[in-house]
Structure 1
Amino acid sequence: MLKKTFAICTLALSSFAFIPAAQANHHGVKEDIIDVAMENGSFNALVTAVKAAGLVETLKGEGPFTVFAPTDEAFAKLPEGTLDMLLLPENKEKLTSILTYHVVAGKVTAAEVMKVDTAATVQGQKVTVTTNDGKVMVNNAHVVMADVEASNGVIHVIDNVLMPK
């Protein structure tokens, strides 16, 4: 009986923990790009890099932004030691250049991305966009998930890190 009462109390209390989140989503309140990436769990390397480059406040800003977000697996494809080297304070400028090469000003949905050949990045260079059988590539990266909504833009998940020229 005691176990059953404890289980019911635990269930009741845990259900209250979800009420604020459900209410926030119900009213259309979404998290910004950084919060969405942090909560997802697949972008730890990206979030670490954004913090090292000092871009957190920018990507938490009003936007809107379109971010081609490489997963942790995408960062793992880089030559060994590359990310560690980029995270060093003396390489902040290079890291910032790489990260801003993944960002396009404005909110560009998947439907809009599929209609363009190039997109100008915040870094200043353009990325090449190709579509084949409904699958989108940005430079050498496949878009593996599109239109992840955030309060200040949209995230398109990619499977490679984009490197500017």
Structure 2
Amino acid sequence: MSMKTKLMTAAAVFALSTGAAFAESHMSADGNPMVGGAEMFPTKTIVENASTAENLTTLVAAVQAAGLVDTLSGPGPFTVFAPTNDAFDKLDQSQVAELMKPENQAALAKILTCHVVAADAMSDAIMGMIADDNGDHAVTTVGGCVLQAKMDGDMITLTDERGQVATVTQADVKQSNGVVHVIDTVLLPAE
């Protein structure tokens, strides 16, 4: 099977598995993706769009506390695996509060950059890489973390260096400086 056929097959599987529900519940009347009740505009940056999403407020606060606003507002391209507020709620809240303190900015930046790839990787490309690597594709992040991208049925999953698995719950939210894939678990670097 050629790479083009694999990508087309992977894209078709993804579209079939998420298409109707995604189109109805995650798209605005203008055809733009909706995240956390907010319309995501492909002409705005990752930070500009994320700042309007009700389910990404913890991520936005963490990006601000880590001093990464300017970076993620830059030209990119970036692929951001964006954990929701519910994903952050799975963590020990005293540790989250500790990480948000100015003296822990470097540790927080390390965690957040484990969610960023210096490329514009749409879901069909990720699924193609997974298929090409026999079901398990290593993804190196800006923060130096290595995530393992796999398929779980028709869903893309990412396993962090601690063995935690995040599922992409909303893919391909195009931004002016990259793409966002919403995930359900915070990815952590090895201790």
TM-score, structure 1 normalization? 0.81
Which residue matches 1:141?
166
Q: Which amino acid aligns with 1:147?
A: D
In structure 2, what is the Cα distance between the partners aligned to 1:133 and 1:62?
34
Q: Is 2:107 aligned against 1:107?
A: no
Q: Is 2:96 aligned against 1:83?
A: yes
| Contact 2:78-2:116 within 8 A present in 1 as well | yes
TM-score, structure 2 normalization? 0.70
What is the RMSD computed on CA atoms of the aligned residues? 1.4
SS at 2:147's partner residue? strand
Where in structure 2 are the equivalents of 1:113-152 lying within 5 Å?
Answer: 113-114=126-127, 115-116=129-130, 117-139=137-159, 140-152=165-177
Which structure's CA Rg is the greater one?
1
Q: 1:57 aligns with which of 66, 70, 91?
A: 70
Which residue matches 2:184?
159
- Count of residues in Structure 1 that have an aligned counterpart in Structure 2: 139
Segments of structure 1 that go 5 or more residues without pairing to the other structure are 1-21, 23-27
In structure 2, what is the Cα distance between the partners aligned to 1:59 and 1:49?
12
Q: Which amino acid aligns with 2:95?
A: T
SS at 1:42's partner residue? helix
In structure 2, what is the Cα distance between the partners aligned to 1:136 and 1:29?
22
Which residue matches 1:45?
58
Segments of structure 2 that go 5 or more residues without pairing to the other structure are 1-29, 31-40, 131-136, 160-164
- Deviation string 1:42-88 (CA, Å, 9 cap, x unpaired) is 10000000000100000000000000000001000101312111001
Identity %: 42
Deviation at 1:113?
1.3
Q: Which amino acid aligns with 1:79?
A: D
SS at 2:111's partner residue? helix
Runs ≥4 in structure 1, deviation > 4 angstroms?
none
| Contact 2:170-2:181 within 8 A present in 1 as well | yes
